Amino acid sequence: MDVEEMKRRAAVEAVEYVKDGMIVGLGTGSTAKYAIEEIGRMVREGMEVIGIATSKQSEELARKNGIEIGDINEYEEIDVTIDGADEIDEKLNLIKGGGGALLREKIVAAASKMEVIVADERKLVKKFSFPLPVEVVKFGWRRTADKLSSMGFKPHLRHGFVTDNGNYILDCEYEELDEGMEGKINSIPGVVENGLFINMADIAIIAFKNGDVRKIKRL
């Protein structure tokens, strides 16, 4: 199975959690894309859902696929969200934000009764190494980057990229990343949110090259 097939396979398994009448969080990225397309197919077959998009890109794709888009402020809870990840560890903690949508993704995940992560086997890791995306306001971003450096990170501005919220992304290299970093990074003035998702995923659906699909559930 090639990478695209693995992504699609994981996404197709995940949409089994989407039922008629649900409010559904729509993730961002090349794996979540397959879930949106699949939900679109189900909608064309008569299922009714309201999609809550995690990015402008996903909103556009969802609309193209015939999915009605709702405003997150109108719904107290999202029934299920299907999203991708850049890395997933065995405790189901995640690094997200490779596509730059981490802020909306985290808001949507936090409002979701169930967060389902879809990925191919390359994303499942013992130890995080993917540079941590940190969304920062433009004002004083170099000073914000200095604070991240003094915490031990090596931040790199994602050149030519502005988030859907009008902010910059600093991709931060590190030696070790512990769970406590999520809150510590967010306490730096200028940081809007970071891509460490601790205790947010409920289930990860991982597709393997050999055709296997593994579901890892939060204990």
Residues that bind ligand 5RP (CB under 6 A): 27-32, 83-86, 96-102, 105
- What whole-number distance in Å separates Cα of residue 175 and Cα of residue 170? 16
Question: Would you state the structure tokens that stand for residue 90, as one six-digit string?
Answer: 């065995």
Q: What residues contact 4, with CB distance under 8 A and at least 6 apart?
A: none
Active site residue 105: yes
To the nearest whole angstrom, how small is the minimum distance from the Cβ of residue 60 to ligand 5RP?
A: 15
To the nearest whole angstrom, how small is the minimum distance from the Cβ of residue 143 to ligand 5RP?
A: 25
Strands (DSSP E) contained in the chain are 23-26, 50-53, 68-69, 80-83, 87-88, 94-95, 115-120, 132-136, 154-157, 168-173, 191-194, 196-197, 203-207, 213-217
To the nearest whole angstrom, how small is the minimum distance from the Cβ of residue 157 to ligand 5RP?
A: 17
Q: Between 149 and 197, whose beta carbon lies closer to ligand 5RP?
A: 197
Nearest C-alpha neighbor of 36 from the set 79, 84, 106: 84
Q: What residues contact 136, with CB distance under 8 A and at least 6 apart?
A: 144, 145, 167, 168, 169, 170, 190, 191, 192
Q: Between 74 and 105, whose beta carbon lies closer to ligand 5RP?
A: 105
- What whole-number distance in Å separates Cα of residue 105 and Cα of residue 197? 10
Catalytic choice (13, 59, 87, 105):
105
- What whole-number distance in Å separates Cα of residue 27 and Cα of residue 31? 9
Q: Between 83 and 89, whose beta carbon lies closer to ligand 5RP?
A: 83
To the nearest whole angstrom, how small is the minimum distance from the Cβ of residue 57 to ligand 5RP?
A: 9
Q: Between 30 and 149, whose beta carbon lies closer to ligand 5RP?
A: 30
Nearest C-alpha neighbor of 24 from the set 44, 50, 48: 50
Can you list the alpha helix ranges (DSSP code H) found in the chain?
3-14, 32-44, 56-64, 102-110, 141-150, 181-186
Q: Between 83 and 115, whose beta carbon lies closer to ligand 5RP?
A: 83
To the nearest whole angstrom, how small is the minimum distance from the Cβ of residue 161 to ligand 5RP?
A: 11
Give the active site residues. Answer: 105
